[in-house]
A and B are shown apart, each in its own frame.
Chain A
Amino acid sequence: MTVAVFFGCSFIAFGPAFALFIFTIARDPLRVIILIAGAFFWLLSLLLSSLVWFIAMKASNDKDQQLQRGLLIFGVMFSVLLQEVFRFAYYKLLRKASEGLAALSEDERSPISVQQMAYVAGLGFGIMSGAFSMINILADSLGPGIVGIHGESQYYFLTSAFMTMAVTLLHTFWGVVFFDGCENRRWWVIAVVVALHLLVSGLTFLNPIYEGSLPPAYVILVSMAVWSFFSCGGSLQNIQQFLTCRKNDAGSEVAS
């Protein structure tokens, strides 16, 4: 019966990422490689930050709840910073790779632009981050019970899925904006990305008051989407054209 919850939550959490992968990444092997390497870089950052947190936790008093919570907050913040460091490192790596690819190609141009690499790298980060957030919860959602017997919210699975979706897409947009900031030496952009990442992660400590974490995360998501759209060369005219083009296509079909 809770197979329904399992599939529902999986689709919510990974639906957009899956769609993006299918239509924009899967057909290009180079993008697939960049995606997977990006995922691996995120994994590395998680490994190192977990190590630090784990050591700190083991070295401290187990019984002190306040201290453990403090250590957890510290662990999360440190992890955010380390993820952004690794994002920068990946940017550097991709720049190097881009030059190499350009040298190999016939027309001295890299087959993939920095913006495309930024998008794919961000998506790689996002997918891996989402997987680690959600897989454990999905496994438990397959069982017969739901969260709530101790008084917690029964929407636990649902809110986790929505948060995962938000974080996955946020990583994608942050990747685009971050790489753009690095390319054009606009360091304040990087600072804003880091700050927003810290903010979204910090807001999750307000859970189970989901009103405190989910709506702000989605507000930030929408604003990041807009920002990354404009940094990719989008504009309002493009949107108009996009919408009117569709109408034109429809008209031409009818005419011919």
Chain B
Amino acid sequence: MASLFGKLIVLLALILQNRGDVFGNAVEQKIYVKLNNTSPCVRLLNSTHQIGCQSSISGDTGVIHVVEVLSDLDWVLMAGPNPPYMVLLQGELFSSDFWFTLSVSVRVLFLSLSLSLSLSLSLLCSGVYSDSYGPQYSHCNRTLWNPLGDGLSYEDFHFPVFMMRDENETSVIKKVSSVLFDSLAVGGWLRHASFHGLENIDSIVEIGQVGLRNGSKLWIHSDPISRKNSSVNEEVILSVCLSVCKTPAAQQSGFSQPLPPASFQRFLKARPIPGVVLTDHQLAFNNRFYESSYDTADNLRVSYPSGLSLEQQLDFITDTARVTERHSLTHSFRETSLYVSSSSSSSSSSSLLLLLLLLLLLLLCCHGFLIQSNNSWFRSLLSQELQSILVDSPLSITLLSPPVRVHPPGPVLANLTGTCDQPHPGPVPEPDKNTGPTKRYLYEYLWVQGEVSENTSRPGSYCVRAAVRLSKAISPAFELKDYRSTEYSTWTESRWKDIRARIFLVASKELEMVTLAVGIAILVVSLLVTYFVSSKADILFTSARETTTAAY
């Protein structure tokens, strides 16, 4: 009997538990609207500064106020009777002009609404140019690369900022513009990336932003400071420029112009290496959305004719990928395999090959990364178990945690620049013995699954030898445990377990007080009535009643 009761109680607990799961707490769903499609601004710290946003330890709550014109902000700052406010902002108004006044006076949370005309938050004046190296180019004295950027991503805010990605959610917020806003977060840590110099680099050709070319022009930038050294200058002109500059579309930027922001600058910090950077812009960026989450296919004007299937889109050469009318790609990129022998080749064929490389990179950049990474070409490059990283949406280049062993750019570049060593799968060959002990591990070997052709079920896989590497993005400062380093990046990100935002209505003070008053009144009245009735119970209930004191 007892065990039966025990089982019944356990069953009751299970059922009650299940009921909760089934409904997902129905009352809570009546009260809160969760905002699911948001991107929060996080806290980034290095050894000396912090940037980004944060919230209070248990979250922030504020009254929603929709700001559509700048004058609405005055109400928030001065006239609003119930601070703090959660300000819902249009993207156009999102600039640094009013930011500091807002951040000083009240505690606010921002949400960005719609796309703005230009939204680039970074302001790039760092790099190799400093007071000791080319002071005339430091602090953007000579060229402002990103004039539309207002550097907001490098500012420090003491309140949380969210970006709304869903129009439906923003319209809900606008509808209920007298509600409160609540957000919760927990903290953590993450490491950031930086580059590490290599010793045996002959020269560098860096392909920067090449997607938005005006009139199909490509600009070639070089560093004027290092080119003052005659041997470096010679190397740049002879070996690097010879192959690249012959390309019909390429044009050199002025000698006195500094390098644009590029990874090449980091190499120059180590030693003066000859090299160039190829971009689509001569002076300021053509991309209005540099380092912005609005840097998408639509904003870059990448479009395919309607009616093309995904596979047809892969083959289609968009206007962005077309260099000149005469030099468009003549055969399918999937059949081409590029060969680049070394970085110091001066033959004219390497210029065409470099051009092809550029075109292919543009093609894959435009589709696999901007439209959909889960396409047949990417799938053919990765083995079965690694294909889970491909998605039916643009592939974003973000920090991955935990880091993956293979990331699509790697096999793509390997396939484009490497040599096919074997036509069929076999053991990975020995490192190249002919290149000597110092260059023993110059190449990496990658197995490419290949396409699944219609004739056979086995994919035509092969091995690719390429000088392509995937390295972990860890700053040397962390490997050296030099957390105060000024030489290497010490950026960290505060890793939040859960950043949530939700909207709800709050009771008016009157309702709360009335509820409490009524409750207290009922309690007091009940106590009084019960006391009096129970004390006179023998008068009120006269039928045969037993005594109330049963002390047996």
Which residues of chain A have a CB within 8 Å of any CB of chain B? 1-2, 4-5, 7-12, 15-16, 18-20, 22-24, 28, 30, 43-44, 47, 50-51, 54, 57, 101, 104-106, 109-113, 115-116, 136-137, 140, 143-150, 152, 154, 156-158, 161, 165, 229, 232-235, 238-239, 241-242, 245-246
- B512/A2 in contact, CB under 8 A: yes
Contact with A along B471-493 (1 / 0, CB 8 A): 00000000000000000000000
Contact A19:B530 (CB < 8 A) given known A148-B505, A233-B545: yes
How many angstroms from the CA of A154 to the CA of B178 in the assembled complex? 14
- A8/B518 in contact, CB under 8 A: yes
- Partner of B534 from A23, A115, A157 at Cβ < 8 Å: A23
Q: Provide 28 A-B residue pairs closer than 8 Å at the C-beta atoms, listed in order of the A residue.
A: A1-B506, A4-B513, A5-B507, A8-B514, A9-B519, A11-B520, A11-B523, A12-B518, A15-B522, A15-B523, A16-B522, A18-B526, A19-B530, A23-B530, A28-B548, A101-B552, A116-B546, A136-B25, A136-B27, A143-B28, A145-B505, A147-B31, A148-B505, A158-B515, A165-B522, A233-B545, A235-B542, A239-B540
Chain B, Cβ-Cβ closest to A13? B519
Which of chain A's residues have a CB closer than 8 A to the CB of B536?
242, 245-246
CB distance from A123 to the nearest CB of B (A): 12
- B523/A19 in contact, CB under 8 A: yes
- B8/A144 in contact, CB under 8 A: no
- A245/B546 in contact, CB under 8 A: no
- A113/B31 in contact, CB under 8 A: no
Which of chain A's residues have a CB closer than 8 A to the CB of B507?
1-2, 5, 146, 154
- A47/B15 in contact, CB under 8 A: yes
Chain B, Cβ-Cβ closest to A16? B526
How many angstroms from the CA of A18 to the CA of B503 in the assembled complex? 36
- B176/A149 in contact, CB under 8 A: yes
How many angstroms from the CA of A233 to the CA of B542 in the assembled complex? 5
Q: B504 on the interface (CB 8 Å rule)?
A: yes
Most buried by B among A19, A110, A157: A19
How many angstroms from the CA of A245 to the CA of B536 in the assembled complex? 9
Contact A12:B505 (CB < 8 A) given known A113-B546, A144-B182, A150-B30: no
Which of chain B's residues have a CB closer than 8 A to the CB of A116?
545-546, 548
CB distance from A208 to the nearest CB of B (A): 10
- Partner of B27 from A9, A137, A235 at Cβ < 8 Å: A137
- B61/A1 in contact, CB under 8 A: no
Which of chain A's residues have a CB closer than 8 A to the CB of B61?
144
- B542/A54 in contact, CB under 8 A: no
Which of chain A's residues have a CB closer than 8 A to the CB of B526?
15-16, 18-20
Q: B345 on the interface (CB 8 Å rule)?
A: no
Which of chain A's residues have a CB closer than 8 A to the CB of B27?
136-137, 140, 147
- B504/A233 in contact, CB under 8 A: no
The 6 closest A-B pairs by CB, nearest first: A233-B543, A145-B504, A11-B519, A111-B550, A8-B515, A8-B519
Q: B117 on the interface (CB 8 Å rule)?
A: no
- B15/A51 in contact, CB under 8 A: yes
Q: B12 on the interface (CB 8 Å rule)?
A: yes
Which of chain B's residues have a CB closer than 8 A to the CB of A154?
505, 507, 511
CB distance from B7 to the nearest CB of A (A): 11
Known: A19-B529, A20-B530, A24-B534. 10 other contacts (CB 8 A): A8-B518, A11-B519, A15-B519, A47-B8, A47-B12, A147-B31, A149-B504, A154-B511, A161-B519, A242-B536
Which of chain B's residues have a CB closer than 8 A to the CB of A145?
31-32, 180, 182, 504-506
Contact with A along B175-204 (1 / 0, CB 8 A): 010011010000000000000000000000
- Partner of A9 from B25, B515, B546, B549 at Cβ < 8 Å: B515
Which of chain A's residues have a CB closer than 8 A to the CB of B517?
8
Which of chain B's residues have a CB closer than 8 A to the CB of A57?
22
How many angstroms from the CA of A43 to the CA of B549 in the assembled complex? 29
Which of chain A's residues have a CB closer than 8 A to the CB of B522?
11-12, 15-16, 165
How many angstroms from the CA of A4 to the CA of B508 in the assembled complex? 11
- B511/A238 in contact, CB under 8 A: no
Q: B98 on the interface (CB 8 Å rule)?
A: no
- A112/B550 in contact, CB under 8 A: yes
- B519/A149 in contact, CB under 8 A: no
- Partner of A242 from B31, B520, B539 at Cβ < 8 Å: B539
Contact A152:B550 (CB < 8 A) given known A50-B19, A51-B15: no
Chain B, Cβ-Cβ closest to A165? B522
- Partner of B539 from A144, A229, A245 at Cβ < 8 Å: A245
How many angstroms from the CA of A4 to the CA of B180 in the assembled complex? 18
- Partner of B28 from A9, A22, A140 at Cβ < 8 Å: A140
CB distance from A244 to the nearest CB of B (A): 10
Q: B393 on the interface (CB 8 Å rule)?
A: no
How many angstroms from the CA of A233 to the CA of B543 in the assembled complex? 5
CB distance from A5 to the nearest CB of B (A): 5
Contact A146:B505 (CB < 8 A) given known A8-B517, A8-B519, A11-B522: yes
Which of chain B's residues have a CB closer than 8 A to the CB of A44?
8
Which of chain B's residues have a CB closer than 8 A to the CB of A104?
552
- A54/B19 in contact, CB under 8 A: yes
Which of chain A's residues have a CB closer than 8 A to the CB of B33?
149-150
- B529/A146 in contact, CB under 8 A: no
How many angstroms from the CA of A137 to the CA of B26 in the assembled complex? 10
Q: B229 on the interface (CB 8 Å rule)?
A: no
- Partner of B550 from A20, A28, A147 at Cβ < 8 Å: A28
CB distance from A242 to the nearest CB of B (A): 5
Which of chain A's residues have a CB closer than 8 A to the CB of B548?
28, 116
- A19/B512 in contact, CB under 8 A: no
- Partner of A5 from B16, B19, B515, B544 at Cβ < 8 Å: B515
CB distance from B332 to the nearest CB of A (A): 46
How many angstroms from the CA of A247 to the CA of B295 in the assembled complex? 86
How many angstroms from the CA of A50 to the CA of B13 in the assembled complex? 11
Which of chain A's residues have a CB closer than 8 A to the CB of B176?
149
How many angstroms from the CA of A160 to the CA of B517 in the assembled complex? 16
- B550/A4 in contact, CB under 8 A: no
- A54/B18 in contact, CB under 8 A: yes
- A149/B546 in contact, CB under 8 A: no
- B519/A12 in contact, CB under 8 A: yes
Q: B527 on the interface (CB 8 Å rule)?
A: yes
Q: B441 on the interface (CB 8 Å rule)?
A: no
Which of chain A's residues have a CB closer than 8 A to the CB of B28?
140, 143
